[in-house]
């Protein structure tokens, strides 16, 4: 079968099981969009900005486990993808970015809309390709999907010059592929596993630290079995949220800068830390030289370069989390005898619970999250967050039951991620109630996507925790910069006095309800605590369409507890 390059891309995507692409047209990808015009098996979602398209594909990928696909044109279209690709790279998300490029004979001539996107994205992709020969297109797409989804997943970019889309060749898609240069290790070394089991059985104060690797390898069931069989307490990183149910008695929440006090104490006092699919990010470890000083470290990861990068490891196990846990689980029949340790942890849990000071006169953001727990009970929910305080409050208080239920930009911390990621998740899961926790700052980084929500009639719910501040930066300025609120008030205009009124100021800008209405969406505003539950129910449960809900929250509420950056994680500030 002789096909054009554009048709080959589409046929190859179908072979990979792709049913949706997020794509923004432009000069060099016109041939591809032309071929998509009559295509029935692939749905095209057109965002309003390529960055958002990238995050939408990312949300699609995180919520389903299947690679997300985004298409952009050459030059600015491609460079607009950079933040979305970097976000996916930091969180190990399988993303396929297809970019148009100028014609092959124009490459390197500073042609119109030319950018060296493979050069630009080397450090933020797992791999990338420039395909100059249409005969290599099908094989390259196969390789790209293989690389994106095997081993530690990640984004792969395929740059295709516009003439390659138009050139014709015989299409045949390879069924399987082997790359001599890429063979990730899936099975853990049996000897290392035996050693790990011995270390676990000998430990008196063990703790599990599980990360995004559990979600990536769909190892949640195996992890839960490991916890049940051994009785070892477990903390998950932000990326590992949902790997274990929120109400599991052995679950400690997440550790680190804004994690629970008891998770941090447990890590610091443990004698054995079993790290599975996590990478000891600085937001988790705090001061590394003080981190879990008394603990031996077992590190299970599919990416050898994660092991020993930050924290010295006593026992490395390279392998896929699911396979390694299945093997380890075979060695355990009865729980470890660690009552003293569990009692100690339970005392910490009782003494230092996750809490906030509620107030009848203002709306506390944590209260909003709790109301969401209440009104969405029993529904199939997916939550996404923007970045900053909204992200931390959501992550602290939301009750998660399953993996892929909570999507957040953990590594890169990308403001503007949550809203489009929610769109991607809603497209992939039409039956789910998808709720975006946003801040008034971060929502504005991709606010144009309200048009996408409207166009595709997505019943997405966006909750803006609106304090009119870039709240997390303001919190740092309050705690570490003598309340010098530089650049963080989003309502501040040139008529404002130099010394602003801070909390007392009633200026809010923009009017998100009007913005929603301008895009043809329903807008809601909540200003009183007694209205929170009623309006959220109306907007999220009764209303079957999209809703933009502007919740005016306590202006200077802080995320607590907090470990100052670079401090040991048991050095905790608690100001409520």
Shortest spacing between CB 460 and other proteins, in angstroms? 36
x/- string (CB under 8 A) for other proteins, residues 335-374?
----------------------------------------
Shortest spacing between CB 128 and other proteins, in angstroms? 8
Instruction: Please list, in sequence order, all residues whose beta carbon lies within 8 angstroms of the beta carbon of residue 465, skipping any fewer than 6 positions away.
Output: 365, 368, 389, 390, 393, 437, 438, 439, 440, 551, 553
Shortest spacing between CB 189 and other proteins, in angstroms? 16
82 vs 369 by CB, closer to other proteins: 82
Please list the residues that pair with 316 across neighbouring strands. Answer: 299
* Alpha carbons 140 and 556: distance in angstroms, whole number: 51
Burial class (CB in 10 A: 0-12, 13-18, 19+), 569: buried
* Alpha carbons 276 and 208: distance in angstroms, whole number: 8
Q: Does residue 304 interact with other proteins by CB under 8 A?
A: yes
242 vs 316 by CB, closer to other proteins: 316
Q: Does residue 576 interact with other proteins by CB under 8 A?
A: no
180 vs 377 by CB, closer to other proteins: 180
Question: Contact, 59 vs 421, CB < 8 A?
Answer: yes
Q: Does residue 308 interact with other proteins by CB under 8 A?
A: yes
Contact positions with other proteins (CB under 8 A) in 514-543? none
103 vs 399 by CB, closer to other proteins: 103
* Alpha carbons 547 and 242: distance in angstroms, whole number: 25
For residue 1, the SS3 value is coil
* Alpha carbons 490 and 568: distance in angstroms, whole number: 33
Question: How many CB atoms within 10 Å of residue 238?
Answer: 27
Shortest spacing between CB 12 and other proteins, in angstroms? 19
Place of tokens 């079993």: 274
Shortest spacing between CB 452 and other proteins, in angstroms? 33
Question: Contact, 6 vs 57, CB < 8 A?
Answer: no
Please list the residues that pair with 251 across neighbouring strands. Answer: 234
For residue 385, the SS3 value is strand
Shortest spacing between CB 181 and other proteins, in angstroms? 5
Q: Does residue 38 interact with other proteins by CB under 8 A?
A: no
185 vs 570 by CB, closer to other proteins: 185
Residue of 309, 399, 537, 567 that binds other proteins (CB under 8 A): 309
103 vs 309 by CB, closer to other proteins: 309
Residue of 74, 99, 118, 203 that binds other proteins (CB under 8 A): 118
Residue of 39, 290, 303, 556 that binds other proteins (CB under 8 A): 303
- Compute φ and ψ for 291, nearest 5 degrees: -75, 125
13 vs 124 by CB, closer to other proteins: 124
Shortest spacing between CB 289 and other proteins, in angstroms? 14
* Alpha carbons 191 and 208: distance in angstroms, whole number: 20
Question: Contact, 229 vs 326, CB < 8 A?
Answer: no
Element (H, E) at 200: helix 190-202
Shortest spacing between CB 260 and other proteins, in angstroms? 31
Task: State the DSSP code for 67.
Answer: P
308 vs 510 by CB, closer to other proteins: 308
x/- string (CB under 8 A) for other proteins, residues 160-199?
-------------------xxxx-----------------
Contact positions with other proteins (CB under 8 A) in 232-291? none
65 vs 304 by CB, closer to other proteins: 304
Q: Between the CA of residue 457 and those of 45, 393, 428, 522, what are the distances in Å?
A: 12, 28, 13, 12
Shortest spacing between CB 311 and other proteins, in angstroms? 11
27 vs 304 by CB, closer to other proteins: 304
72 vs 311 by CB, closer to other proteins: 311
Q: Does residue 147 interact with other proteins by CB under 8 A?
A: yes
Q: Which alpha helices (H) appear in 45-189, and where do they start and end? A: 50-64, 76-79, 82-90, 117-121, 137-149, 162-166
Question: Contact, 236 vs 211, CB < 8 A?
Answer: yes
Q: Does residue 130 interact with other proteins by CB under 8 A?
A: yes
Residue of 105, 108, 109, 122 that binds other proteins (CB under 8 A): 122
143 vs 550 by CB, closer to other proteins: 143
Shortest spacing between CB 107 and other proteins, in angstroms? 11
Residue of 119, 353, 487, 510 that binds other proteins (CB under 8 A): 119
Question: Contact, 318 vs 185, CB < 8 A?
Answer: yes
Ordered DSSP codes for 299-331: EEES-GGGTTSSS--SEEEES-HHHHHHHHHTT
Element (H, E) at 234: strand 234-236
User: Contacts with other proteins: how many residues (CB under 8 A)?
Assistant: 17
The stretch among 125-133, 253-261, 419-427, 435-443 that binds other proteins (CB under 8 A) is 125-133
Shortest spacing between CB 95 and other proteins, in angstroms? 15
Site of interaction with other proteins (CB under 8 A): 118-119, 122-123, 126-127, 130, 147, 179-182, 303-305, 308-309
């Amino acid at each position: 079968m002789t096909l054009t390059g554009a048709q080959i891309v589409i046929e190859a995507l179908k072979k990979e099981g792709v049913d949706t692409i997020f794509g923004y047209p432009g000069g060099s990808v016109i041939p591809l969009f032309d071929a998509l015009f009559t295509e029935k098996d692939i749905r095209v979602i057109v965002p309003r900005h390529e960055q958002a398209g990238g995050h939408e594909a990312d949300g699609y990928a995180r919520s389903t486990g299947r690679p997300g696909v985004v298409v952009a044109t050459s030059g600015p279209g491609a460079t607009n993808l950079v933040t979305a690709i970097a976000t996916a790279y930091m969180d190990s998300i399988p993303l396929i970015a297809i970019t148009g490029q100028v014609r092959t004979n124009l490459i390197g001539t500073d042609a119109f809309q030319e950018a060296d996107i493979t050069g630009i994205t080397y450090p933020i992709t797992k791999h990338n390709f420039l395909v100059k020969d249409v005969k290599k297109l099908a094989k390259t797409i196969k390789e790209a999907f293989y690389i994106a989804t095997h081993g530690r997943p990640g984004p792969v970019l395929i740059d295709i010059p516009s003439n390659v889309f138009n050139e014709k060749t015989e299409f045949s898609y390879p069924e399987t592929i082997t790359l001599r240069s890429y063979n990730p290790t899936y099975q853990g070394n049996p000897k290392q596993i035996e050693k790990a089991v011995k270390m676990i059985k000998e430990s008196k104060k063990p703790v599990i630290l599980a990360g995004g690797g559990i979600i990536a390898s769909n190892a949640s069931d195996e992890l839960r079995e490991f916890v049940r069989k051994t009785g070892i307490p477990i903390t998950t990183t932000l990326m590992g949220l949902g790997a274990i149910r929120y109400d599991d008695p052995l679950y400690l929440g997440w550790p680190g800068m804004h994690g629970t006090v008891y998770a941090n104490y447990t890590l610091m006092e443990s004698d054995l830390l079993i790290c599975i699919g996590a990478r000891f990010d600085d937001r988790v470890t705090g001061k590394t030289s003080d981190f879990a000083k008394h603990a031996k470290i077992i590190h299970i990861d599919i990416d050898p370069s994660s092991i020993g990068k930050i924290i010295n490891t006593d026992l490395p196990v390279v392998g896929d989390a699911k396979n390694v846990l299945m093997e380890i689980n075979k060695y355990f029949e009865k729980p470890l005898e660690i009552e003293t340790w569990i009692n100690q942890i339970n005392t910490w849990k009782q003494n230092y619970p996750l809490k906030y000071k509620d107030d009848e006169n203002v709306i506390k953001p944590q209260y909003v999250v709790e109301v969401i727990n209440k009104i969405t009970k029993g529904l199939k929910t997916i939550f996404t967050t923007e970045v900053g305080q909204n992200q931390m409050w959501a992550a602290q208080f939301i009750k998660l039951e399953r993996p892929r239920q909570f999507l957040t930009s953990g590594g890169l911390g990308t403001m503007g991620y949550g809203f489009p990621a929610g769109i991607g998740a809603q497209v992939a899961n039409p039956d789910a109630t998808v709720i975006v926790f946003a801040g008034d700052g971060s929502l504005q980084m991709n606010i144009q996507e309200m048009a996408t929500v409207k166009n595709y009639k997505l019943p997405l719910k966006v909750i803006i925790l609106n304090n009119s501040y870039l709240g997390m930066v303001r919190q740092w300025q309050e705690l570490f910069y003598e309340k010098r609120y530089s650049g963080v008030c989003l309502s501040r205009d040139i008529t404002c006095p130099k010394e602003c009124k801070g909390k007392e100021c009633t200026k809010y800008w923009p009017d998100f309800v009007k913005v929603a209405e301008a895009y043809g969406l329903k807008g809601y505003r909540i200003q009183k605590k007694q209205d929170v539950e009623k309006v959220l129910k109306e907007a999220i449960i009764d209303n079957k369409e999209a809703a933009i809900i502007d919740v005016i929250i306590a202006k200077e509420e802080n995320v607590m507890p907090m470990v100052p950056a670079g401090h040991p994680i048991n050095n905790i500030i608690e100001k409520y």
